[in-house]
Amino acid sequence: MNVLRLIVPAAAIVALSACAPTTTRGNDGHGKDVPAARPTGAALSCLPLAQISESRVRDDWTIDFRTLGNKWYRNTLPYRCSGLGFEQAFSYATSQSQLCSTDIITVIQTGTPAGSRGSCGLGQFQPIELVK
């Protein structure tokens, strides 16, 4: 079994592109600074790992994934993932060559002995165009 693991702290994204700005969160975990997005097609259950070039945590509910060819997919989690918007870092483990809505992510908490907290399920990958 081949297990792939990705840790996506905001500082590490610099190698791929500029870091996302820190999100101002409300009490419900929804960020006030999440960019508006327009759907551009039907949602997908999975994205091939080889195609993902960047991920941007927007808040406790939202992760945007950029794929090769500069196409964006918004993953709106079905349940709040507490701490995700604050930490802006997550990991996942999969034995497949794709990341799917059935996969679980784990929030990486810096400065703790365990190094992580909370696991959360992903939602569908909605192709989007970010509204400027």
> Where are the domains positioned within the chain?
4-22+37-130
Q: What is the pLDDT of residue 111?
A: 73
Q: What is the pLDDT of residue 116?
A: 52
0.85 exceeded by pTM:
no
What's the half-sphere exposure (Cβ side, CA atoms, 13 Å) at 98?
10
Q: What is the pLDDT of residue 115?
A: 53
Q: What is the pLDDT of residue 17?
A: 29
Q: What is the pLDDT of residue 41?
A: 97
Q: Taking a C-beta distance cutoff of 8 angstroms, is the pair 69, 47 a contact?
A: no
Q: What is the pLDDT of residue 31?
A: 83
User: Low-confidence residues of the chain, pLDDT below 70?
Assistant: 1-26, 112-117
Q: What is the pLDDT of residue 75?
A: 98
Q: What is the pLDDT of residue 118?
A: 82
How many angstroms separate the CA atoms of 88 and 43, rounded?
24
Q: What is the pLDDT of residue 114?
A: 61
Distances (CA, A) of 25 to 34, 82, 94, 129: 10, 11, 29, 23
Positive or negative CA dihedral for 51, 56, 58, 59?
positive
Secondary structure class of 25 (helix, strand, coil) = strand
Q: Taking a C-beta distance cutoff of 8 angstroms, is the pair 9, 89 a contact?
A: yes
